[in-house]
Structure 1
Amino acid sequence: MSVRNLNLLHPRDQIIMIINRIYQKGLTTTSGGNISIMDESGDMWVTPSGVDKGSLKPSDIMCVKADGTMVGPHKPSMEYPFHKAIYSERPDIKSVVHAHPPALVAFSIVRQIPNTNVIPQVKQVCGPIGYAKYAIPGSSDLGDSISEQFQKGFDSVIMENHGAVVGGKNVIKAYERFETLEFACRTLINSKIIGEPQFLTEEQIFGFNNQIPTDHPKMETVTHTSDEKELRQQIKDMVRRACDQGLMMSTYGTISVRWKGNDFLITPTDATRWDLQANDIVQVKGGLCEPNKVPSRSTWLHQKIYEMNPEINAIILTQPEYLMAYGVAHKKVDVRTIPESWIFLQDMENVPFGSHFLSNDTIPQKVSAANPGVIIENDSVLMTGNSLLQAFDRLEVAEFSAKSLVMGTSLGAFAPMNENEIDDLRKAFF
């Protein structure tokens, strides 16, 4: 089921689409969590109580009518009262998502609020985080505790010793907020394993948002050749693969592929990544982009990399959680740990936050065939390749390496390959 024409999907179908994604991504358990949607009639559609989240059908979704009548084959979630309380306090919110993903629960049981100044996009999507004191699940006290936070203007709330609840103007926006908040918590936890997270100042975040291009010159007419159409499909398929592999989120991730000369195709901004379609992708030709489309905010960076590096034909910019732990802790990933990592990456430098700002040539000058990727501190990971598959493969290898390093930190000191072993690899593969 697609998120296209979301308003034409029945609320029960919208809920099934999102609960399936939450369950498949390991963000809830068979019995945990609940989702609701408030429709235009004032009726609340909500997941049922005691029904397997991994096999829910549209017919399982309950309706709590505006007059309190319950329609459906089950009981509504035992926690539907706090959903109702949120809608009462915040008429602008039309969907609520609650679950118990591991990293968010970790913050809830140590009674901490994650600092969203860790990455600009996290702060933009999640906003400030509220904190609801503990109360018995399903109780009116819990509803009061949570709705009070939403009344204060929070859209994301940590529930003490419980989990988290988020709201949005529709179920997609609520899910994006929920997924991004869990990503932030995982990144912060992993960064503390290898060091200490470093946070951005309000001035740095303002500077980032202020420099993003908003007016892209448009071409008058656009031509779609057979090879261009093929590249669109490749990008679409790879974005979905990256989402399925945990290398991209709904709200963040950019792929571009060189088409001919310095012209290229790139993913759009403000599109749900896992539902991206081929016709969403933006052609950039002669510095002009397709009319009626908004390309990625990093389009200028991709353009500069292609102009300065003729051997690079594909670029991926994204936020894998283990690599981002290194980006947030300002630590360097040691790719000498296993042969494959060094062969694929050779070196992977960190560059300071701001290196990706408009008109900064640091990254285009640093990436090359020998140095295919960089970690942009407190922002993202950029990986390149002579093909889209090579760039994706390198990204996967880098993320697997970072994951192994995070896990290995608790076991003892690393024993990387020595210079003689690196020389042997160099002679064998280069």
Structure 2
Amino acid sequence: MKKLDTKLMHPRDQIILIIDKIYKSGLTTTSGGNVSIIDQSGDIWVTPSAVDKGSLRPSDIVVVRKDGTIEGRHKPSSEYPFHRAIYEARPDIKAIVHAHPPALVSFSTVRQIPNTNIIPQAKYVCGGIGYAPYELPGSEELGNKIADEFIKGFNAVIMENHGTVVGGSDLRDAFQRFETLEFCGRTIIYGNTIGTPNYLTDAEIEEFENQIPRLLPEMSHVEHPSEERAIRQEIKKIVHRACKQGMMISSYGTVSVRWRENDFLITPTDVARWDIQNDDIVQIKGGKREPGKTPSRSTWLHQEIYRRNPGINSIILTQTPYLMAYSVTDEKLDVRTIPESWIFLQDVPNVPFGSHFAGEETILNVLSENTPAVIINNDSVLVTGDKLLGTFDRLEVAEFSAKSLTMGASLGKLVPINNDQVEALRKKFLG
């Protein structure tokens, strides 16, 4: 599948692409939410009013011309007035996403703004978050209050007892901001379920942004034999699968697979994970990178893991909703929930934020045959394994375990598999 160049897609097709992702990700309902784009002519393309978000077609999208003329089979969204107000207030904004995702609605109903310092990339993806007091949906008053927040420089606004609205330089930018903000909200809520969330300081986030190691030198000659191409296809499929299953978001996630000896292939940086294609993936060979490509900023860590652990042939570094609850609270993930969890994971320790930076040894010293995964505080989970599908399975088991524990927190204290039962599992499955 060819990479989607949304900048050359018609606004109708862009909107269908993104509203479909929003709906299928469970971030809006059949009737809720709306998306728009303003084009170079000043015309606003917007989702229609009262049409099923799960089955929208390009022909359903409405255009409101610069002169106010409406063209299309339907009425424009009832929230069109605040879209127009935002575009008038902020000419730099070219796309808007509004919806009622569960976590951000939760924040809106308790009159709070999620603290995006919960994970490192969110501060720069989301920026500051505004807050618009309640007004009647679809009213000019609501549009004015939201526009006032955008005038202050915010690109994302929590709408009191309503939801959220975000703007972007294009629709991909707006969607990434929307998705990342909802992920922050969920992480905080799930973290509060099992403990007390900790937040990164601005200095720690700056350190994260500044720790990008010097790029590896470019190789002069690149080979793409059949087995190398097969690995690219495998990585792409797993990344897309992870995105569809909510195990990876647009703004964060890295997958790599060993190729020959210590050479490997790894996902790039600054590419929306849901749209990564075979030719985006970066080959690392002999300590050099494929020309013209920027590999993940965690490339050094992957390189060292492969160099020091001959039995590890694939790595996934990502943010999943329930494992991140353990990441941000520093609570211990006890995998003695069901036999499968212990067999697949055995132990999942927490390591400090920054342990994944270039030159750090903590993760490299912790990983072993009995410790195939680690949780990096306020950052991510790192899972290793032999075959990539098996590594993804291990990630799924870890996330399901974290979800079960988070859900079970309201029922009572975990009663884990006891030591004798663990030893019996060890002898039968690992002996």
- TM tier relative to shorter chain: over 0.9
CA distance in 2, matches of 1:149, 1:58: 31
Can you list the C-alpha shifts for 1:245-299, whole angstroms capped at 9, x where unaligned? 1111111110000001100000000111111110110000011000110000100
What is the aligned partner in structure 2 of residue 336 from structure 1? 336
What is the aligned partner in structure 2 of residue 13 from structure 1? 13
CA distance in 1, matches of 2:387, 2:124: 32
The 3-state SS of whatever aligns with 1:37 is strand
Give the superposition deviation at 1:369.
Answer: 2.1
Q: Tell me, which stretches of 5 or more residues in structure 2 are unaligned?
A: none
Give the AA of the match of 2:321. Answer: E
Give the AA of the match of 2:297. Answer: R
Given that 1:194 and 1:409 are in contact with CA atoms closer than 8 Å, whether structure 2 keeps it comes out as yes
CA distance in 1, matches of 2:199, 2:121: 13
The 3-state SS of whatever aligns with 1:391 is helix
Give the superposition deviation at 1:361.
Answer: 1.2
Give the superposition deviation at 1:414.
Answer: 1.0
CA distance in 1, matches of 2:368, 2:155: 42
CA distance in 2, matches of 1:181, 1:426: 41
Matched, 1:183 2:183: yes
TM-score normalised according to structure 1 size = 0.99
CA distance in 2, matches of 1:177, 1:203: 22
What is the aligned partner in structure 2 of residue 241 from structure 1? 241
The 3-state SS of whatever aligns with 1:91 is coil
Given that 2:256 and 2:302 are in contact with CA atoms closer than 8 Å, whether structure 1 keeps it comes out as yes
Can you list the C-alpha shifts for 1:130-185, whole angstroms capped at 9, x where unaligned? 11111000111100110011111101110000000000111011011101111110
- Specify whether residues 386 and 131 from structure 1 end up closer, same or farther in structure 2 by C-alpha distance, changes over 3 A only: same
CA RMSD in angstroms comes to 1.0
Give the superposition deviation at 1:215.
Answer: 2.7
Matched, 1:77 2:77: yes
Give the AA of the match of 1:372. Answer: P
What is the aligned partner in structure 1 of residue 262 from structure 2? 262
The 3-state SS of whatever aligns with 1:237 is helix
Give the AA of the match of 2:284. Answer: V
Given that 1:218 and 1:291 are in contact with CA atoms closer than 8 Å, whether structure 2 keeps it comes out as yes
Q: Tell me, which stretches of 5 or more residues in structure 1 are unaligned?
A: none
Given that 1:217 and 1:289 are in contact with CA atoms closer than 8 Å, whether structure 2 keeps it comes out as yes
* Higher mean C-alpha displacement, 3-12 vs 141-150: 3-12
CA distance in 2, matches of 1:53, 1:386: 40
What is the aligned partner in structure 2 of residue 379 from structure 1? 379
Can you list the C-alpha shifts for 1:296-340, whole angstroms capped at 9, x where unaligned? 010011001001111100000000010001100111110011111
Give the AA of the match of 1:117. Answer: N
Can you list the C-alpha shifts for 1:55-110, whole angstroms capped at 9, x where unaligned? 11100000000000000011000111101111111111100000001000000000
Given that 1:308 and 1:365 are in contact with CA atoms closer than 8 Å, whether structure 2 keeps it comes out as no
Aligned residues: 430
Give the superposition deviation at 1:214.
Answer: 4.8
Given that 1:253 and 1:316 are in contact with CA atoms closer than 8 Å, whether structure 2 keeps it comes out as yes
What is the aligned partner in structure 1 of residue 324 from structure 2? 324
What is the aligned partner in structure 1 of residue 398 from structure 2? 398
Give the AA of the match of 1:85. Answer: A
Given that 1:312 and 1:369 are in contact with CA atoms closer than 8 Å, whether structure 2 keeps it comes out as no
What is the aligned partner in structure 2 of residue 115 from structure 1? 115
Given that 1:37 and 1:44 are in contact with CA atoms closer than 8 Å, whether structure 2 keeps it comes out as yes
Q: For 1:157-306, what aligned pairs fall within 5 Å after superposition?
A: 157-306=157-306
CA distance in 1, matches of 2:161, 2:42: 31
What is the aligned partner in structure 2 of residue 48 from structure 1? 48
CA distance in 1, matches of 2:215, 2:241: 30
CA distance in 2, matches of 1:214, 1:252: 20
CA distance in 1, matches of 2:60, 2:206: 45
Matched, 1:23 2:23: yes
CA distance in 1, matches of 2:312, 2:361: 16
Given that 2:350 and 2:374 are in contact with CA atoms closer than 8 Å, whether structure 1 keeps it comes out as yes
Give the superposition deviation at 1:428.
Answer: 0.7
- Specify whether residues 281 and 391 from structure 1 end up closer, same or farther in structure 2 by C-alpha distance, changes over 3 A only: same
What is the aligned partner in structure 2 of residue 143 from structure 1? 143
Given that 1:187 and 1:322 are in contact with CA atoms closer than 8 Å, whether structure 2 keeps it comes out as yes
CA distance in 1, matches of 2:3, 2:148: 31
What is the aligned partner in structure 1 of residue 58 from structure 2? 58
* Higher mean C-alpha displacement, 261-270 vs 213-222: 213-222
The 3-state SS of whatever aligns with 2:215 is coil
What is the aligned partner in structure 2 of residue 93 from structure 1? 93
What is the aligned partner in structure 2 of residue 358 from structure 1? 358
Given that 2:3 and 2:276 are in contact with CA atoms closer than 8 Å, whether structure 1 keeps it comes out as no
CA distance in 2, matches of 1:2, 1:202: 38
- Specify whether residues 214 and 82 from structure 1 end up closer, same or farther in structure 2 by C-alpha distance, changes over 3 A only: farther
CA distance in 2, matches of 1:148, 1:342: 52
CA distance in 2, matches of 1:125, 1:418: 44
Given that 2:314 and 2:386 are in contact with CA atoms closer than 8 Å, whether structure 1 keeps it comes out as yes
TM-score normalised according to structure 2 size = 0.99
Give the AA of the match of 1:149. Answer: E
CA distance in 1, matches of 2:84, 2:247: 35
CA distance in 2, matches of 1:252, 1:206: 17
Give the superposition deviation at 1:29.
Answer: 0.5
Give the superposition deviation at 1:202.
Answer: 1.1
What percentage of aligned pairs have identical amino acids? 64
CA distance in 1, matches of 2:167, 2:214: 27
Matched, 1:33 2:33: yes
CA distance in 1, matches of 2:160, 2:218: 49
CA distance in 2, matches of 1:91, 1:299: 38
Give the superposition deviation at 1:3.
Answer: 6.0
CA distance in 1, matches of 2:317, 2:120: 15
Given that 1:2 and 1:275 are in contact with CA atoms closer than 8 Å, whether structure 2 keeps it comes out as no
CA distance in 2, matches of 1:3, 1:162: 35
